[in-house]
């Protein structure tokens, strides 16, 4: 538990408040920098994964492939597992599926409006837009 000093004057309260406000602003600036760093790192990871996929498909990593799994490369005791990507299906040209999806959407909305659908709240997060 954090114990705060017993303020004896308004000056102490104002000083404490401005210190906390300053810390909060510093946290905002830190969050902005961390989010920018994260975005940059994610772009670098994406580029590295793209290059490695090309090398994998070209056979440049064949000498490092695992004997038990052809999608696994082992280098310096670290396993790198290549995944070609998740298969996705497009049902936009299937009228019967589109109709079922529309019906399901209506039923979900009805269940929400009468209180039959449960809800959960995700983990809180901050967005930073500059």
Burial code (b: 16+ CB inside 10 Å, e: under 16) for 76-94 equals: eeeeeebeeeeeeeeeeee
Amino acid 3: pLDDT: 57
Structural domain that includes position 57 = 10-83
Q: How many domains does the chain have?
A: 1
Answer yes or no: is 5 within a domain. Answer: no
Amino acid 9: pLDDT: 54
Answer yes or no: is 29 within a domain. Answer: yes
- Percent pLDDT > 70 in the chain is 90
Answer yes or no: is 17 within a domain. Answer: yes
Amino acid 124: pLDDT: 86
Amino acid 13: pLDDT: 63
Answer yes or no: is 95 within a domain. Answer: no
Amino acid 10: pLDDT: 57
Average confidence (pLDDT) per 10 residues, the chain, 130 residues: 56 75 94 97 96 94 94 94 91 97 97 94 84
């Amino acid at each position: 538990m954090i114990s705060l000093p017993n303020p004896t004057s308004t000056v102490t309260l104002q000083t404490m408040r401005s210190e906390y406000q300053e810390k909060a602003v510093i946290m905002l600036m830190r969050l902005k920098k961390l989010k920018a760093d994260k975005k940059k790192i994610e772009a670098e990871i994406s580029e590295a994964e793209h290059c490695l996929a090309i090398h994998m498909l070209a056979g440049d990593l064949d000498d490092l492939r695992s004997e038990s799994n052809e999608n696994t490369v082992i280098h310096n005791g670290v396993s790198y597992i290549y995944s070609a990507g998740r298969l996705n299906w497009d049902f936009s040209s299937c009228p019967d599926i589109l109709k079922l999806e529309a019906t399901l959407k209506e039923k979900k909305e009805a269940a929400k409006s009468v209180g039959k659908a449960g809800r959960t709240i995700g983990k809180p997060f901050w967005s930073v837009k500059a």
